[in-house]
Structure 1
Amino acid sequence: MEVDTSKEALREARKIAEQSDQGARNPVGLTGRLILAVTLCWSLFQLWYASPLPFIFKAGIFNDTQARAIHLSFAVFLAFMAFPARRKSYRNQVPFYDWIMALLASFSSAYLYLFSTELAYRSGAPTTMDLFIAASGIILLLEATRRALGPPLMVVALVFITYAFAGPYMPDVIAHKGASFNKAMSHFWITTEGVFGVALGVSTNFVFMFVLFGALLERAGAGNYFIQVAFSLLGHMRGGPAKAAVVSSGLSGVVSGSSIANVVTTGTFTIPLMKRVGFPSHKAGAIEVAASTNGQLTPPIMGAAAFLMVEYVGISYLEVIKAALLPAIISYIALFYIVHLEAVKAGMEGLPRRHTRTKLQALLSFTGTFAGLCIMGTAVYYGIGWTRSYMGDYALYMIGSALLLSYVGLVKLASLQPDLPRDTEATLSHTPEPGPTLKRGLYYLLPIVVLLWVPDR
């Protein structure tokens, strides 16, 4: 009965995740294949734009404004296709009015790319068509925002848009002479100071690629690996599942940078186990949410705000990572300590191990694991720095060869270990063995090494 309950909770969590991240619709047939094709084209476009291939082949080169327009065109089209207008709307098909709004929103967004030459010639003097497209684009973008993120963000945007027109009627402290319709629409949509400004540029240049990286790594099994590693090291302690939830959420935040993704990937696993060892439902949920929210602070992949800081402040992303590392560590240590106090106060115990170990063996295992990670991190940091400083352009080939050899060796090591469980059934009664669990997915750390090395080149 308990397994059935955990399975039902897992299905419900996945449903919530799909509604928040992928939309509440699940179209079938030709429509479903079209949405899949559009998402694939969007990803391929972003990869092409971020790569040096356009300059190598001297084709398909987009400037920043054109890339932002195409990026937003894909986004608003998928927003209307994947998110219904109301909760009671169709789930397995897309109504005709959503098709119309999706195509119109996509065209309005791509307008800056399709007519970039004409807009450049009449800069500052928009035509009636320009203003109509701008007004339509803003209205449809607000609706897409409401569908994807809910009314609050749309209301905030509407307040500021209203403020642009209602300046003369405001209190003296915030009053201004107001903006005409022509000036406002041109500023909001036709230029790169409104919708197509810095924030959209950050999404185009950085956020999409990092989110894609995290999603691919998660699908490859990295999230499950980090969860199992946390449980193997901490599951046997007092309130072990709760402590493992804190650590696994931190490890998952390394590759996701999303609080929602953290809750879904780790919460479906950790919340039932926390309840099993004695945590009440509200405390289990609170611990998971608190730990998962910190995923947006955990380097190297953080929330969109980190990339906005890079763009606005003018510093490298590596500097942001260094600045965020200490607050992330402090927040997780504090949460870990609070969980320990709650577990001691309630007299909780952890999950038993399949094979009992002495305290000396446990201490040596933990110390060896920690020392190994520290040595690996030091070797990566200073080793890569040395190659970059003394080998110049050859550093890329040296690092590439070393990563390839490391990957082959780590995959070989992982193939000798038992497969990791992918549901809660296998770990409801015992804690996984640390050694085999840790060795099973060490190759997942290699993409993070590359991610830390490339921005500093």
Structure 2
Amino acid sequence: MKENKQTDMNEILEKYDRENNYRTNIGNWAWVVTFLGIALTLFHLYTGYYGTLPSQQQGAIHLGTALGIIFLLFPAKMGWQKKQRSVPWYDVVLAFTAMYVTYHKIIFFDSILQSRISGYGPLDVIVSILGILLLLEATRRTVGLPIVIVASIAILYTLFGNMIPTQVLSHPGFSVNRIATDLWFKESGVFGTPIQISAKFIFLFLFFGVILVHTQIGKFFNDLAFALTGRFTGGTAKAAVAASALQGMVSGSSVGNTVASGSFTIPMMKKAGFKPEFSAATEASASTGGQVMPPLMGAAAFIMMEYLGVSYSTIMLAALVPAILYFTGIFIGTHFEAKKLHILGLPASELPSFRKLMIKNGYMLLPLFVIIGTIMAGFTPQRAALMGIAAAFLVSLARKDTRMNVKQLIHVLEQGARVALPIIAAVGTAGIIAGVVSITGLGTKFAAGIIALSGGYLIFALIFTMIACIILGMGLPTTANYVVTATVAAPVLINEFGVAPIAAHMFVFYFGIIADITPPVCLAAYAGAGIAKANPFKTGVTAVKLAVAAFIIPYIFIYNPILVLVDVTPVNLIISGATAILGMTAVSSSVIGYLITNSYTSERILLFAAGIMLIIPNLISSSAGLLIMLAIWYIQRQRKDDDTGTRKIEASM
């Protein structure tokens, strides 16, 4: 039974998460993959502790080794991974060619630097063209075609910009040699900020997550969530939200979180009485929120830190209140749905004891506290990751079933590289798009277009930016989506409309993330629907309803950035936080159609309006919203009492 369940999970991951479509039987090449994987992980641990190499060299080893592993592991077409019994000769050639053209930056480092002044030679041009083509192909294999299409269009735009009739977008055009060498050899292209941050910070945090998974922290989080929330109304759904929020602290994959946690929580929600679509949507929307949940958040948060020039602790703190509101909205939504369907909590006999659980497994939280403490103490994210890795390794020694022997240690070191492959490829390709923006001045042209379309009104600029982020997010991973929108869209909001920088970057970050649950391409919702045997599109629509906070909160912190801790005092933060939670209660009630009894359409509209007014950090607005909410609560209470009395009379008759 357990084996069948694992097979179903793997099939769902292979269907909706491209990074799981790797070859499982590659013969003797497995030794090469293991060697390269271990070498890459040890390289990052070594440079993390003793100091990184010059950024171009660090990035070249990071990307080049990853490309080599990708071509050995990932087949050219989905489905071939089960048919091929070894690595085809052409993929071996591609793997070592990709490694060479990337290591070329290290082998000829000094001459390449000199070539920036004297001009690049024919070999440099060939190497750069091959490097870009191989990077695009590796990204297609690990992440999918959409991001490759976007990057390819960007390159064609750079090449043929002089043929575009629209004056706003046209430019003189650039030669193939100029485009290829600029994108491959300069800091504004493939080896720009995204890949540098990936090489310095992201890899180490991903490896930290791998070790934590080995300690079976996922099961502990599930048990902890049920111990805390399982006994309340709709306890299974609330536990799913709490478990996903906890797991989101160590994983940034929406689909992976949905499948890992949902394989356990979704059947329990269905058994309790929730509809399949609602069960899948609850898990998908909560798992997607993991990318905005401090302390680790998604990999994009580290790039945001570099773009904004602030400490990672600043990013963490700024994300905290919006993340709490996001999960509060989903949590309250499950409560109202449970009340509506009369779904109670689980009996105490079926729930783990919180006290016993913390005594037995509470030590598993130590690595997270180490990470948070190290960052808040002012150390670099790199140092925090290393400290967290050391703490996670010590935690793994505490129990016999998680203690690593040599074989398991080798496996964990290799997995550290494997989980990073899609992100490395994605940020490298995102660097191509960012490089095009730099070469062509597309950012300025985009700004002019947004201003023209919006008529100079911020609200319209925000709506257009939101739509762009969601559309890009349907094909791009969160990190790549953020790189593109942070390069093109965020500067428009900051420079042209005076939006606080951290609020603008959080805005594009949020809307890139929720593409995973926004139809028609909502992979996390589809993965949850696969587990629940539910209608995928209906699941996506339900997930959007549950995660409605993610569509509202970004607008609020743009107009009043108290929620991202800009110009904040303890008093106004407490007041804003309290009214925002009340606001999310009203919005969730409106979406579900239940407050203390079923709501009429007019009541739902008023509740939604009241919720928005409460979330806005303004005394007059919040007061008006609270009065509306209390009025509807009073009306429904009277109606509920009347209904109860009527039922009693009918029963006596």
Deviation track 1:286-326 (CA, whole Å, cap 9, x = no partner) reads 11000000000001101122111111110000000000011
Alignment of 1:91-110 (within 5 A): 91=82, 92-110=85-103
Kindly indicate whether residue 18 of structure 2 is the aligned counterpart of residue 27 of structure 1. no
Give, in angstroms, the shift of residue 7 of structure 1: 5.9
Of the three residues 158, 163, 177, the one matched with 2:157 is 163
Deviation track 1:189-221 (CA, whole Å, cap 9, x = no partner) reads 022221000110111111111111112111211
Aligned to 2:57: 66
Structure 2 letter corresponding to 1:164: T
Structure 1 window deviating more from structure 2 (344-353 vs 248-257): it is 344-353
CA distance in 2, matches of 1:209, 1:142: 24
Kindly indicate whether residue 4 of structure 2 is the aligned counterpart of residue 8 of structure 1. yes
Of the three residues 442, 451, 454, the one matched with 2:362 is 442
CA RMSD of aligned residues (A): 1.7
Structure 1 window deviating more from structure 2 (331-340 vs 303-312): it is 303-312
Contact 1:22–1:82 under 8 Å retained in 2: no
Of the three residues 67, 80, 83, the one matched with 2:74 is 83
- The alignment's TM-score, normalised by the length of structure 1, stands at 0.78
CA distance in 2, matches of 1:330, 1:232: 22
Contact 1:215–1:256 under 8 Å retained in 2: no
Give, in angstroms, the shift of residue 16 of structure 1: 4.0
CA distance in 2, matches of 1:152, 1:165: 20
Aligned to 1:119: 112
CA distance in 1, matches of 2:370, 2:151: 38
Contact 1:105–1:137 under 8 Å retained in 2: yes
CA distance in 1, matches of 2:312, 2:129: 35
Deviation track 1:338-372 (CA, whole Å, cap 9, x = no partner) reads 00111111111232222xxxxxxxxxxxxxxxxxx
CA distance in 1, matches of 2:11, 2:34: 18
Structure 1 window deviating more from structure 2 (116-125 vs 196-205): it is 116-125
Q: For 1:256, what is the secondary structure of its paired residue?
A: coil
Aligned to 2:171: 176
Instruction: Say if 1:246 and 1:353 are closer, same or farther in 2 by CA, change over 3 A.
Output: same
CA distance in 1, matches of 2:282, 2:126: 49
CA distance in 2, matches of 1:88, 1:289: 25
Q: For 2:345, what is the secondary structure of its paired residue?
A: coil
CA distance in 2, matches of 1:22, 1:10: 14
Contact 2:75–2:141 under 8 Å retained in 1: yes
CA distance in 2, matches of 1:442, 1:256: 19
Q: For 2:120, what is the secondary structure of its paired residue?
A: coil
CA distance in 2, matches of 1:15, 1:208: 27
Kindly indicate whether residue 251 of structure 2 is the aligned counterpart of residue 256 of structure 1. yes
Structure 2 letter corresponding to 1:80: F
CA distance in 1, matches of 2:21, 2:70: 8
CA distance in 1, matches of 2:203, 2:351: 36
Give, in angstroms, the shift of residue 27 of structure 1: 2.2
Instruction: Say if 1:323 and 1:181 are closer, same or farther in 2 by CA, change over 3 A.
Output: same
Contact 2:21–2:79 under 8 Å retained in 1: no
Structure 2 letter corresponding to 1:181: V
Of the three residues 130, 140, 158, the one matched with 2:134 is 140
Report % sequence identity: 36
Q: For 1:123, what is the secondary structure of its paired residue?
A: helix
CA distance in 1, matches of 2:368, 2:123: 47
Q: For 2:323, what is the secondary structure of its paired residue?
A: helix
Q: For 2:250, what is the secondary structure of its paired residue?
A: helix
Deviation track 1:372-421 (CA, whole Å, cap 9, x = no partner) reads xxxxxxxxxxxxxxxxxxxxxxxxxxxxxxxxxxxxxxxxxxxxxxxxxx
Alignment of 1:331-370 (within 5 A): 331-354=326-349
CA distance in 2, matches of 1:214, 1:155: 31
Contact 1:258–1:302 under 8 Å retained in 2: no
Deviation track 1:141-172 (CA, whole Å, cap 9, x = no partner) reads 11111111111111111111111011101121
Q: For 2:75, what is the secondary structure of its paired residue?
A: coil
Structure 1 letter corresponding to 2:116: S
Aligned to 1:45: 43
Aligned to 1:452: 372
Alignment of 1:272-421 (within 5 A): 272-354=267-349
Deviation track 1:24-74 (CA, whole Å, cap 9, x = no partner) reads 31125422232122111111011111112x6xxxxxx62111000000012
Unpaired runs of 5+ in structure 1?
55-60, 355-429
Structure 1 window deviating more from structure 2 (89-98 vs 323-332): it is 89-98
Structure 2 letter corresponding to 1:103: F
Contact 2:24–2:81 under 8 Å retained in 1: no
Q: For 1:84, what is the secondary structure of its paired residue?
A: coil
Give, in angstroms, the shift of residue 185 of structure 1: 1.0
Alignment of 1:228-239 (within 5 A): 228-239=223-234
Structure 2 letter corresponding to 1:444: M
Contact 2:74–2:81 under 8 Å retained in 1: no
Contact 1:257–1:298 under 8 Å retained in 2: no
Contact 2:19–2:143 under 8 Å retained in 1: no
Aligned to 1:212: 207
Contact 2:21–2:78 under 8 Å retained in 1: no
Unpaired runs of 5+ in structure 2?
380-653
Give, in angstroms, the shift of residue 261 of structure 1: 3.1
CA distance in 2, matches of 1:67, 1:447: 27
- The alignment's TM-score, normalised by the length of structure 2, stands at 0.55
Structure 2 letter corresponding to 1:191: K
Contact 1:26–1:93 under 8 Å retained in 2: no
Q: Which has the higher contact order (CA 8 A, sep 6+)?
A: 2
Aligned to 1:224: 219
CA distance in 1, matches of 2:170, 2:225: 55
Q: For 1:192, what is the secondary structure of its paired residue?
A: coil
Contact 1:26–1:32 under 8 Å retained in 2: no
Structure 2 letter corresponding to 1:145: T
Contact 1:10–1:268 under 8 Å retained in 2: no
Kindly indicate whether residue 353 of structure 2 is the aligned counterpart of residue 433 of structure 1. yes
CA distance in 2, matches of 1:268, 1:341: 24
Task: Tell me how many residue pairs correspond in the alignment.
Answer: 371
Aligned to 2:385: none
Contact 2:56–2:191 under 8 Å retained in 1: yes
Contact 2:22–2:81 under 8 Å retained in 1: no
Give, in angstroms, the shift of residue 90 of structure 1: 4.2
Deviation track 1:117-145 (CA, whole Å, cap 9, x = no partner) reads 22123224111111101101111111111
Structure 2 letter corresponding to 1:36: T
Instruction: Say if 1:33 and 1:241 are closer, same or farther in 2 by CA, change over 3 A.
Output: farther
Contact 1:234–1:244 under 8 Å retained in 2: yes
Contact 1:246–1:291 under 8 Å retained in 2: yes
Give, in angstroms, the shift of residue 225 of structure 1: 0.7
Structure 2 letter corresponding to 1:245: A
Structure 2 letter corresponding to 1:65: Q
Kindly indicate whether residue 191 of structure 2 is the aligned counterpart of residue 200 of structure 1. no
Q: For 1:158, what is the secondary structure of its paired residue?
A: helix
Instruction: Say if 1:96 and 1:204 are closer, same or farther in 2 by CA, change over 3 A.
Output: same
Q: For 1:323, what is the secondary structure of its paired residue?
A: helix
CA distance in 2, matches of 1:190, 1:160: 18
Instruction: Say if 1:88 and 1:260 are closer, same or farther in 2 by CA, change over 3 A.
Output: closer
Kindly indicate whether residue 49 of structure 2 is the aligned counterpart of residue 129 of structure 1. no
CA distance in 2, matches of 1:164, 1:322: 39
